[in-house]
Structure 1
Amino acid sequence: MTIDVIEPGLSTTVQDTGRYGFQEYGVVVSGVMDEHAAIIANALVGNNDHEPLLEVTLIGPTLTFRNEAIISLCGADLSAKINGLTIPLWKPIYIKEGSTLTFGRPIKGCRSYLAIAGGLDVPVVMNSSSTYSRGKIGGYNGRLLRKDDVLHKKEAISEFTQILYNYFKSHITTAEAFRYVPWTVSTSLIEMYSKKSPIRFIKGPQFFDFTKESLERFRKESFQVLTNSDRMGYRLESFKLELKQNIDLLSEAVTMGTIQVPPDGQPIILMADRQTVGGYPKIGYVASIDLPILSQVIPGEKLSFEEISLEKAQKLLIDREDLVKELKIGLLLAIRRMEHDAG
């Protein structure tokens, strides 16, 4: 199955959940910015969590499907349409061959995840298909999509996906270009996208090296996300964060959500394409539970921070992972019900 890229969009890349295990060799992790939305998108079409999919940023691509396909869109609402008709988020959608998917004005959020049943057929580089464009590795030729690129879908599909195909083919009419299921993802899994700020953080190792005034303002005032923010890092601007005194630090490994403060006092939050090590003071770490919310903040918007304990952050993350597990069980039950009704 092939997909023609008619227009590439602002920044459309193939990503999966990341290239782990190679940071000690200087290889960045990359992967999706919003892992929560990406995992759900893959689950809705019967893919595993790690299956490569498209990360669509702000201005989406125009894609023509030469063959029938089952897709899902999760994350930001970027006004997606098939043949000019609006399609919903957070549902499996069947597309007839020859149909065209377009995106319009961003309504909410920054990044949307397009999963295709079976997954995209791209090379695996160091155990991942994620695109790291600066290093020109992974994804589609190691770069963003371009006009006239041709994407290919893997041929093998899961039993889950086959049942979906059977259901859609028995329900779609000749006049319809697409059809979607009558159910959707629970609001308990997507309601967080209505929350943009504050972003919860855990104290970093140099937190108490900053002045009392800086720490108070850090927890009370807002920062603007600058327009030169990208997948490597979100650059923030507000008051200057000041250290009590200059300190010399050894570079050490960094993770997604690390909040570094360079000499100009304006923090940078490291994101998916972050470098492997950093030597700036770390005032905090964005709690993993809020990384999906952070990834949907649009450059130009403002955000603020709220402290959370490590224990509470861990509990919230475990609770959400349990909800995702429940979703996957619910999807299997829904699919079996479809199979039973069709049979």
Structure 2
Amino acid sequence: MTVRLVSVGLNAITVDAGRKGVLHQGFCQSGPMDWLAFQLANQLCGQHNAPTLEFMGALTFNIEDDCSVSVTGPAATIWVNEQQTSCWQRIALKAGDQVRVQPERLGARHYVATPSGFAVSPAVGSACTVKREYVGGPHQDGSPLKTGDLLAVNNGKSSRGVACPSSLPAHLLPSYDMTKPIGIVAGYQHEAFSDIAWQRLLNNEYEVTPQMDRMGVRLQGPAVQSAMSGMYSEAIALGSMQVPPDGQPIVMMADRQTLGGYPKVGTLARCDLYRFAQCLAGDKIQFYQLDAANARATWLLQQVAIQKWFGN
């Protein structure tokens, strides 16, 4: 079974849950930017972490065999042939159908999943595409998908069969309200930042700059200065907020480098990171403090609600 890409907007790549245990070899973890949208796209198709399309801008593709897909992300209009439908559901398709997805915000990331996942040969244990490392993806060289590409879909049905919910209830629909603050958990280098610097971070808006990609997001606002003059490079967690000497924070994302030498004031809470991953240049971001226990509990409650709905 195959999917033909008729038109690719800004970018389209394949992602799965990412590369595990290979940081010491110099490979980044990668994985989806918006983990929640990725997870729910797979769940709607009865899968866990199967290879999925992550795309920005409009996407049009043709289905060459009967199958179903799910499309998730902040907000998009979907047409199957000329019939309009919506995100956050499993959509049954017939051979020859054309699907067109038009996101509301140019640059927002959306996801397309299938019940058996896209057939992408793993590279370093993952289907993830990492352009700067020339690793992964259908072309096996880190290059993004392009118009005219054919994507094979794995044979067989979903890992749990088709008896799973085909849509989401209202309480599971993610909120992408960028006016809501993003939680941040203080890190162990927090003491290198004065109380004044910490309060400055929490009590001001920071603008998302155009210097943003799957590696990291640079923010601009009141400087958050650190007392550290230097440090050894060390591993970087997903969502960690590095602060270079100019005091302008950088949030490290899915394709972050394996090591970094800037002090980290904290890490964005996993329960809010999916929303931050959808920010665009010019967005204004505010932060609020969460302790590690509350951040973990909020994330786990979210996961339990998803698992309960999908029966896994």
AA in 2 matched with 1:56: F
Alignment of 1:22-171 (within 5 A): 22-47=22-47, 49-57=48-56, 59-106=57-104, 110-141=108-139, 142-158=142-158, 160-161=160-161
The equivalent of 1:175 in structure 2 is: none
Whole-angstrom distance in 1 between the partners of 2:162 and 2:251: 41
Query: Which structure features the higher share of helix residues?
Result: 1
Matched-pair contact (CA < 8 Å) for 1:79–1:107: no
Whole-angstrom distance in 1 between the partners of 2:158 and 2:36: 21
Q: Kindly state the Cα deviation for residue 194 of structure 1 after the two structures are TM-superposed.
A: 3.6
Matched-pair contact (CA < 8 Å) for 1:200–1:307: yes
Whole-angstrom distance in 2 between the partners of 1:159 and 1:190: 23
Q: CA RMSD in A?
A: 2.0
Instruction: Give the structure-2-normalised TM-score.
Output: 0.93
Determine if the alignment matches structure 1 residue 234 to structure 2 residue 232: no
AA in 1 matched with 2:122: V
Paired residue secondary structure (2:175): helix
Matched-pair contact (CA < 8 Å) for 2:76–2:86: no
Whole-angstrom distance in 1 between the partners of 2:83 and 2:280: 26
1:319–1:246 Cα change, 3 Å: closer
The equivalent of 2:13 in structure 1 is: 13
Query: Residue deviations 1:259-302, cap 9 Å, x none?
Result: 00111211100000000111101011001111111112222211
1:87–1:265 Cα change, 3 Å: same
Higher CA-based Rg: 1
Whole-angstrom distance in 1 between the partners of 2:28 and 2:45: 28
The equivalent of 2:249 in structure 1 is: 267
AA in 1 matched with 2:49: H
AA in 1 matched with 2:182: I
Matched-pair contact (CA < 8 Å) for 1:76–1:109: no
AA in 1 matched with 2:200: R
Matched-pair contact (CA < 8 Å) for 1:196–1:294: no
Paired residue secondary structure (1:134): helix
Paired residue secondary structure (1:236): strand
Q: Kindly state the Cα deviation for residue 41 of structure 1 after the two structures are TM-superposed.
A: 0.9
Whole-angstrom distance in 1 between the partners of 2:303 and 2:4: 35
Query: Residue deviations 1:216-254, cap 9 Å, x none?
Result: 2101101111122010001101122223x4422111111
Q: Kindly state the Cα deviation for residue 105 of structure 1 after the two structures are TM-superposed.
A: 4.5
Query: Residue deviations 1:136-169, cap 9 Å, x none?
Result: 21122122111211111111223754568xxxxx
AA in 2 matched with 1:262: P
Determine if the alignment matches structure 1 residue 215 to structure 2 residue 214: no
Q: Gapped runs of 5+ residues in structure 1?
A: 165-180, 333-343
Q: Kindly state the Cα deviation for residue 36 of structure 1 after the two structures are TM-superposed.
A: 1.5
1:287–1:223 Cα change, 3 Å: same
Identity of aligned residues (%): 30
Query: Residue deviations 1:300-341, cap 9 Å, x none?
Result: 211111000111111111111111110221xx8xxxxxxxxx
AA in 2 matched with 1:205: Y
Paired residue secondary structure (1:313): helix
1:283–1:160 Cα change, 3 Å: closer
1:159–1:255 Cα change, 3 Å: closer
Whole-angstrom distance in 2 between the partners of 1:121 and 1:217: 47
AA in 2 matched with 1:146: K
Paired residue secondary structure (1:50): coil
Q: Kindly state the Cα deviation for residue 109 of structure 1 after the two structures are TM-superposed.
A: 8.4
Query: Residue deviations 1:41-67, cap 9 Å, x none?
Result: 1111122x120000122x122111122
Q: Kindly state the Cα deviation for residue 207 of structure 1 after the two structures are TM-superposed.
A: 2.1
Matched-pair contact (CA < 8 Å) for 1:78–1:108: no
AA in 2 matched with 1:19: R
Q: Paired residues, what number?
A: 310
1:276–1:231 Cα change, 3 Å: same
AA in 1 matched with 2:116: G
Matched-pair contact (CA < 8 Å) for 1:222–1:303: yes
Paired residue secondary structure (2:133): coil
Matched-pair contact (CA < 8 Å) for 2:243–2:249: yes
Instruction: Give the structure-1-normalised TM-score.
Output: 0.85
Paired residue secondary structure (1:54): strand
Whole-angstrom distance in 2 between the partners of 1:8 and 1:130: 18
Determine if the alignment matches structure 1 residue 297 to structure 2 residue 296: no
Q: Kindly state the Cα deviation for residue 205 of structure 1 after the two structures are TM-superposed.
A: 2.4
Whole-angstrom distance in 2 between the partners of 1:224 and 1:123: 39
